[in-house]
Amino acid sequence: MPKGRFLAEFELYVMLGVAGLGEGAYGAAIRRAIRGRTGRPVSIGAVYATVSRLEEKGLLSHAVSEPRPVPGGRARKIYALTPAGEAAVAHSTNMIRRMVEGVELDGLEAWAP
């Protein structure tokens, strides 16, 4: 993977959120998925800035849904991993697994904020 194609922590969270949500991967759902799994507060602006950056990198794509079937319902951008995005997620998660392998993690919770 070329330099500059590595995923930052929040980018990886967004990519994993998209992967986990499948066809339901729109901005607010991605935000809820990250907050629900990490406990980390997430602004919707950070999600949208990140998906935009990941699209520019060719790691995500989007399609526009039909408007929601409610009065005033709006269309949503539904995000999906591109083949390059799938490769980036696989690469990043494999690197994390290799780094964690054999590391004694007992007592590290004390470092958490």
| CATH class as words, domain 9-101 | mainly alpha
Report domain extents, the chain.
Answer: 9-101
Q: Which residues lie below 8 Å from residue 98, measured CB to CB, with a gap of 6+? A: none
**pLDDT confidence band for 112 (50 / 70 / 90):** low
Question: Strand pairing of 77-81 and 60-64?
Answer: antiparallel
Q: What is the pTM of this model?
A: 0.85
User: Alpha-carbon distance 99 to 103, whole Å?
Assistant: 8
Band the pLDDT of 92: cuts 50, 70, 90: very high
At 77, which helix (H) or strand (E)? strand 77-81
For 70, residues 6+ apart whose C-beta sits below 8 A from its C-beta are none
Residue 78: is its pLDDT beyond 70? Answer: yes
